[in-house]
Amino acid sequence: SHDALTREVDSLVERYENKQRRFEHQVSKLDTENDRLRKKVLSLHENLENSNKDAKNATHRLQVELEHMKQKYSNLSLNQCDLERELKQVRFEHDKAKVEVARLQLLLQESQESKHRTENANTEMKEKLTKAYLSRDAFAKELAVSAKDLGETTALKQVAENE
């Protein structure tokens, strides 16, 4: 009975030691798994932090690019306004030039009409002068004939008086 009790105690101790080893083996496996999971969590945490940094950097770059694009758009809008203003000025100058051309064409037309009137007046004046010269010449001839007749008449009177 003492032997049986010893064998039973030995058997219980052996079972306990086996369970203890299995338990320690399980604890060891759990510690290893726990370390692996802890490392994975740390790695994921580090990756998350890096991703956050990358996202912040990307967001900053996009904001800078957005501001740059806004500035470009603003400059383009200003350039468009300048070009539209210049176009209006060019159109205005073009319209002014068309008005000036029309004014000069009217002046040219008036000048040509005046030239024609002057030429017509000159022609009329030449015709009148020619008539006047012809009349003067005819009158001079008549005057000469009259003077000759008068001279002859005067001479005859003198001859008559002398007699």
Q: Write out pLDDT tens, residues 95-115.
A: 999 999 999 999 999 999 999
CA pair distance 119, 130, nearest whole angstrom: 16
Query: Which pair of tokens denotes residue 105?
Result: 């064409």
The pLDDT of residue 70 is 95
The pTM for the full model equals: 0.44
Number of neighbouring beta carbons within 10 Å of residue 99:
10
Residue 155 has pLDDT above 80, yes or no: no
Which contacts of 12-18 are long-range, i.e. CB under 8 A and separated by 24 or more positions?
Answer: none
- In this predicted structure, the answer to whether residue 152 has a pLDDT above a threshold of 90 is no
- Tens digits of residue pLDDT in 60-84: 999 999 999 999 999 999 999 999 9
How many helices and strands in the chain, by DSSP H and E?
A: 1, 0
pLDDT for 151 equals 77
